[in-house]
Amino acid sequence: MFLVEHQQDKWLHVYLPERPNGSMGWILVGQVRLTQHNYRIIVELGAHRITVYKGWQVIDQEPVGVGKAETPTPGGVYYTKELLKPTDPNGAYGPYAYGLSGFSNVLSDYAGGDGVIGIHGTNDPSALGHDVSHGCIRMSNAGITRLAATLPLGVPVEIEP
C-alpha cells in the first residue's frame, strides 16, 4: 500500500513506508490498484490535538498524547497502513492501533518491532494532552474505536509541529 502524492502520465509518485521518513518513489499506474476516499488526519503536536476529516467536515477532534522530548513524534506526511486489534483492549494500546507508514527518528526498534509510529488508544486517559509516549499518538479508546469502524486504510496523516 502506498499514498500517491501525484501522477505524471503513467507514473505515480508515492510515499514509501520505509526509512528515512518522507522517502518517495515512482511506480507504474498499471502495477497497482488505485482506490480513493476523502478522509484525512491532522495531528498538531504542540496543541496535542487530532482532527479527522471527511472532505471538509470534521468527524472527530480530541486531545492526544504525543512523544516525549527524548522520543518525539516525528512530523511529516504519513498514511495508515494497517489496523491492529490488540488482544487486551484494556491494555496500553487500547482496543485498536493504526500502524503508520513512518518510523521513530530515535528508536530503531520498539516492543519487538522496527520503531513504527502509530495512532492507538490508551489505558491511561489522564495522559491525553501531554508529551508521554515513545513517539506514537495516543487517543481516547472511544475515539480510536470510532475511527476503526469508519476509516479505510491509506488515510493521509499529516503530523504538524
Kindly report the backbone phi and psi dihedral angles of residue 53, in degrees, each rounded to the nearest multiple of 5, phi listed first. Answer: -115, 145
Q: How far is Cα of residue 28 from the mean position of the Cα atoms in its chain?
A: 25
Closest Cα to residue 81, out of 56, 116, 51? 116
Kindly report the backbone phi and psi dihedral angles of residue 148, in degrees, each rounded to the nearest multiple of 5, phi listed first. Answer: -60, -30
Active site residue 37: no
Closest Cα to residue 52, out of 44, 61, 142? 61
Kindly report the backbone phi and psi dihedral angles of residue 38, in degrees, each rounded to the nearest multiple of 5, phi listed first. Answer: -120, 35
User: One of 6, 37, 134, 136 is an active-site residue; which one?
Assistant: 136
Active site residue 48: no
- How many contiguous H segments (helices) and E segments (strands) does the chain have? 1, 13
Is 101 in contact with 17 (CB distance < 8 Å)?
yes
User: One of 6, 13, 37, 120 is an active-site residue; which one?
Assistant: 120
- Bridge pairing between strands 39-44 and 156-160: parallel
Which residues participate in catalysis according to the annotation? 120, 136
